[in-house]
Amino acid sequence: MQPETDPDDHVRILLLVGLRHFLTADNAEAAFEKVQETAGRPLDPARFHAAVAACIAEGMIREPIRLESNSLHCHWRLELTPKGVETARTLTGT
């Protein structure tokens, strides 16, 4: 199976995964693997990272790299903003 290469599809997948699942990972590479596994299809890494950047720029997801108070290292978390939730719900028809 070939990775999905449509950049808009990567944004759609990211929003739908973020709407339905709470994902955290140790780093961006692990996050890519988790999103890909959760989506149930191969994704293109470059297009995935471009989709993350586009979603941040459009205000649909929060900055995924976090350093929580009292933490010793950063982690990656997929969290939709209200705009992202609204967009994802539009995609699902709910």
What are the residue ranges spanned by the domains of the chain? Answer: 7-85
The CATH architecture that domain 7-85 belongs to is: Orthogonal Bundle (1.10)
What pLDDT is attached to residue 40? 95
Neighbours of 30 (CB within 10 A): 14
Residue type, 49: H
Q: How does pLDDT run across 3-46, given as a tens digit for each residue? A: 445 558 999 999 999 999 999 999 999 999 999 999 999 999 99
Question: Taking 50 as the threshold, does the pLDDT of residue 50 lie above it?
Answer: yes
pLDDT digits (tens, 9 = 90+) for 57-88: 999 999 998 777 776 778 899 999 999 999 99
The C-alpha atoms of residue 93 and residue 91 are separated, in whole angstroms, by: 6
d(CA 85, CA 74): 24
Residue 77 near residue 64 (C-beta atoms within 8 A): yes
